[in-house]
Amino acid sequence: MDDKFDKISSLGLIKPEGLDRMSIESLNVYLAELEEECFRVKNEITKKSQYLSKADAIFDK
């Protein structure tokens, strides 16, 4: 494992040890990856919310 990525979050996500040690280029790459992951998570939340709404509509009738 890369030495700058040695901490793991409670969700199993690898987090960099210290942002202050990362170059600007590395920080920009890391930020882009986080933004992509945020987009993916938001899409999953939307999808699951729609499923729940449809299920509620079926079972509330």
pLDDT in tens, 20-56: 999 999 999 989 999 999 999 999 999 999 999 999 9
In the chain, the number of structural domains is 1
Is 31 part of a structural domain of the chain?
Answer: yes
Is 3 part of a structural domain of the chain?
Answer: no
Residues spanned by the domain of 39: 23-61
Is 28 part of a structural domain of the chain?
Answer: yes
Q: Report the pLDDT value the prediction gives residue 2, as an integer from 0 to 100.
A: 47
Tokens of 15: 């987090």
Is 15 part of a structural domain of the chain?
Answer: no
Q: Can you give the pTM of this predicted structure? A: 0.66
Give the 3-state secondary structure of the chain: CCCCCCEECCCCCEECCCHHHCCHHHHHHHHHHHHHHHHHHHHHHHHHHHHHHHHHHHHCC
Is 7 part of a structural domain of the chain?
Answer: no
Q: pLDDT of 10-20, one tens digit each?
A: 767 777 778 99
Is 2 part of a structural domain of the chain?
Answer: no
